[in-house]
Amino acid sequence: MAHDSTFYITTPIYYVNGVPHVGSATTTLLCDALARFHRLKGERTFFLTGTDEHAQKVADAALIAGVPAQEFADKVSGRFRECWEYLNISNDDFIRTSEPRHQAVVTEVFRRLQASGDIYVGKYEGWYSVADETFFRESEVKDGKAIESGAKVEWVSEDNYYFKLSAYGDRLLAHIELHPEFLQPETRRNEVLAFIKGGLRDIVVSRRNTGWGIPVPDDPSQVVYVWFDALINYLTATGWPGAASWDSLWPADLHLVGKEIYTRFHATLWPAMLMGLGLPLPGTVLGHGWWLVDGEKGAKSKGNIPTPQEVVTELVSLSGASPEVAKDALRYYLLRDISFTSDAEYAQSHLLSRYNADLCNKLGNLLNRTLKMLSQYAGGVVPESGAERTADGTLATLSHEIVQDVERCMLAFDPGGALASIWKLVEAGNGDIDTTAPWKRHKAGDTQGVADALYAALEAVRIISILLTPLLPHVAEVMRQQLGLSEMPLGDWAHETRWGGLASGMKTLEGQPIFPRIDTKTNSQKQKELTTVTENTLPPPPPLLDVPEAPPAPTYITIDDFAKIQLKIGQIVTAERVEGATKLLKLTVDIGEETPRQILAGIAESYLPESLPGKKIVVVANLAPRKMRGLESQGMLMAATDAEGHAILLHPADPDAVRPGAQVR
């Protein structure tokens, strides 16, 4: 943390010219997860969100609606409050820039920077975008639009107040160099460095007063420019300058924002303003990418991205899950798949895939099958086991590593990375049950073996519930309830994540599926018919009826069919991750042709990119090219699947004996 007293985290404040959608919800959910984590760590935490109300486009929207700007702002700001309450956001404060407390602080900041000479009167002539609320240089405009955003611009000529941003370029560069954690991720830091090195211009910090905004001190003909006004909200919430304890909050530890307001405002203008005031800078400014829908930025104004309420309602209808579970399912998808280095594609199909594959088939399956076996073999009572007293078992060792990795991810402001790590423990828990096969041990009379296997699975589930508490709070609580732990107060992170916390003799509840599976079927007219089925819990076979099922009838192909498939030896030249995708790697593969082929392979969860170059593998060479994530894949790698579902690439037994392009027969 930037200071010792309180972990202070902020979302951007959201424009009240439209209702919140899943894009704005993503930023808020990211902050919520981080705030909950720091509270679980036992730290005092202050989580701020709110609404930005003095933009010209807000006044324009109010005019179109035929109501006063303040009335319009009140209504839409209320929609944000309602949405965050609906999503169980745990913010400590909700600030509005139309509040008297904020107007007073903006006035004080303006006066101080005037007194120091950082704000002066000048005349502005140039391009301005109402949609972006941003002034643009001639070089940043083409064909009447801002190159950066595509928004229309208009030529403005008026007397304004300026802030001496140009005086802070060297100081900003020095701070960024001295504090590499200040601007994250690295890609955005590089953008900021290029922006500053390109030369900072003094920036207009007032506009002509049209009746909406905070008046400039001693000059009611002007109002404070919306961005100068808005950024100060982070300081207002601390009680600066009058509150005795304002510096127990300031500086903020983390400003989390979308990429569109990162470089110009949060990473350049805001720290320069703070330098002018003689105040310390935030610990970290973190920017994430956009959700794209069909290649375009998701925006409610475009009608291409839903509200959280719409998504949850549909998910409840499709699955039969409770609304609270559906909210956590949305949390899971948004937190897991948002990208900090690039943009990510938002799609209902991705959400449903995450729901079925990760939440239902893996997490729900682990919880339900474990509790069912416990009920069947131990009467629902946690057995006494050696696994309770030792931390050197397979799951115990992995659990310790996962806890450390999750903590590292959360401290690095990466909830998506934390979820990916947690799911390694989920998958390992299911794999351990398959390996230890308690139903077989029970049939063989191995009572202690059953106890050890069940305790390890139960303890893994308990620790997973703790790790999920900041990320999927409702689901984590339901898991604790089913484990019989709901009446026990939750301790701090270090204590709760230690292996062996589940006491023998405790009575659990009967397992109830949390995530009813979504079953998609196609009817005779090729239309989709969605029905709800019970969660696939894969219970163990009854001990006395351990009869193998008859294998399915084989499907044969002719030798002529097989001859159509061209299998060749390929050698991997390069490998890298595909931005915005968790499973895909982009490979270039030499199969004996003049130019290596680009092949996309879903092996990112099984292989690190840096481990692949030089490996010889088997490639389907005559598969028709296809597009994935906007990239063309020119073939397919051959792979098997191990017991845990991980991909294992097929390769020649003697790689040195075959060259790239050799035929596989």
Answer whether residue 521 shows pLDDT above 70. Answer: no
Q: Do 450 and 428 contact (CB within 8 A), yes or no?
A: no
Answer whether residue 4 shows pLDDT above 80. Answer: no
Q: In the prediction, which pLDDT does 582 show?
A: 73
pLDDT category at 387 given cuts 50, 70, 90 is low
Q: In the prediction, which pLDDT does 555 show?
A: 45
Q: In the prediction, which pLDDT does 388 show?
A: 58
Measured in degrees and rounded to the nearest 5, phi and psi for residue 655 equal -60, -30
**207 and 112 in one domain?**
yes
Q: In the prediction, which pLDDT does 123 show?
A: 80
CATH number at residue 397: 1.10.730.10
| b/e 121-158 (16+ beta carbons within 10 angstroms → b) | eeebeebbbbbbbbbbeeeebeeebbeebeeebeebee
Average pLDDT, the chain: 88
For the ranges 134-148, 549-563, 626-640, which has the lowest average pLDDT?
Answer: 549-563
The rounded distance, in Å, linking the Cα atoms of 114 and 112 is 5
**238 and 92 in one domain?**
yes
**507 and 399 in one domain?**
yes
Work out the average pLDDT over 25-40. Answer: 98
Please report where in the chains the tokens 């931390």 appear, as a residue.
391
Q: In the prediction, which pLDDT does 389 show?
A: 56
Work out the average pLDDT over 367-372. Answer: 96
**Does a structural domain hold residue 532?**
no
**149 and 18 in one domain?**
yes
**179 and 38 in one domain?**
yes
Q: In the prediction, which pLDDT does 20 show?
A: 93
Report the length, in residues, of the chain: 665
pLDDT category at 528 given cuts 50, 70, 90 is very low
**Does a structural domain hold residue 42?**
yes
Of 456, 491, 517, the residue at which a domain comes to its end is: 517
Q: Which of 12-21, 119-128, 249-258, 608-617 has the highest mean pLDDT?
A: 249-258
CA dihedral 523, 527, 533, 536 (to 10 degrees): 90
CATH number at residue 595: 2.40.50.140
**569 and 490 in one domain?**
no
CA dihedral 525, 530, 535, 538 (to 10 degrees): 10
CATH number at residue 51: 3.40.50.620
Residues 606-631 pLDDT 10s: 777 777 888 899 999 988 888 777 78
**Does a structural domain hold residue 17?**
yes
**279 and 391 in one domain?**
no
Q: In the prediction, which pLDDT does 236 show?
A: 98
**Does a structural domain hold residue 454?**
yes
pLDDT category at 298 given cuts 50, 70, 90 is confident
Higher-confidence residue: 58 or 180?
A: 180
**365 and 442 in one domain?**
yes
**359 and 271 in one domain?**
no
For the ranges 161-170, 447-456, 463-472, 587-596, which has the lowest average pLDDT?
Answer: 587-596
**Does a structural domain hold residue 331?**
no
Q: In the prediction, which pLDDT does 182 show?
A: 98
Work out the average pLDDT over 450-476. Answer: 96
* CA-closest candidate to residue 544, choices 446, 451, 442: 442
Of 235, 253, 288, the residue at which a domain comes to its end is: 288
Handedness of CA 159, 103, 78, 470 (dihedral sign): positive
* CA-closest candidate to residue 457, choices 332, 365, 542: 365
| b/e 501-530 (16+ beta carbons within 10 angstroms → b) | bbeeeeebeebebbbbbbeeeeeeeeeeee
**510 and 563 in one domain?**
no
**568 and 510 in one domain?**
no
For the ranges 229-233, 400-404, 556-560, 656-660, which has the lowest average pLDDT?
Answer: 556-560
**Does a structural domain hold residue 295?**
no
| pTM above threshold 0.85 | no
CA angle (15 as vertex; 10, 17 as ends), nearest 5:
160
pLDDT category at 664 given cuts 50, 70, 90 is confident
| b/e 547-565 (16+ beta carbons within 10 angstroms → b) | eeeeeeeeeeeeeeeeeee
Q: In the prediction, which pLDDT does 535 show?
A: 39
Which residues form the domain of 150?
Answer: 7-288
**Does a structural domain hold residue 522?**
no
**564 and 513 in one domain?**
no
**Does a structural domain hold residue 160?**
yes
pLDDT category at 350 given cuts 50, 70, 90 is very high
Count of structural domains, the chain:
3
Q: In the prediction, which pLDDT does 435 show?
A: 93
Of 462, 483, 517, the residue at which a domain comes to its end is: 517
For the ranges 276-290, 302-316, 428-442, 563-577, which has the lowest average pLDDT?
Answer: 563-577
Q: In the prediction, which pLDDT does 523 show?
A: 29
Please report where in the chains the tokens 């018919």 appear, as a residue.
529
Q: Which of 210-219, 539-548, 563-572 has the highest mean pLDDT?
A: 210-219
pLDDT category at 18 given cuts 50, 70, 90 is confident
Q: Do 364 and 513 contact (CB within 8 A), yes or no?
A: yes
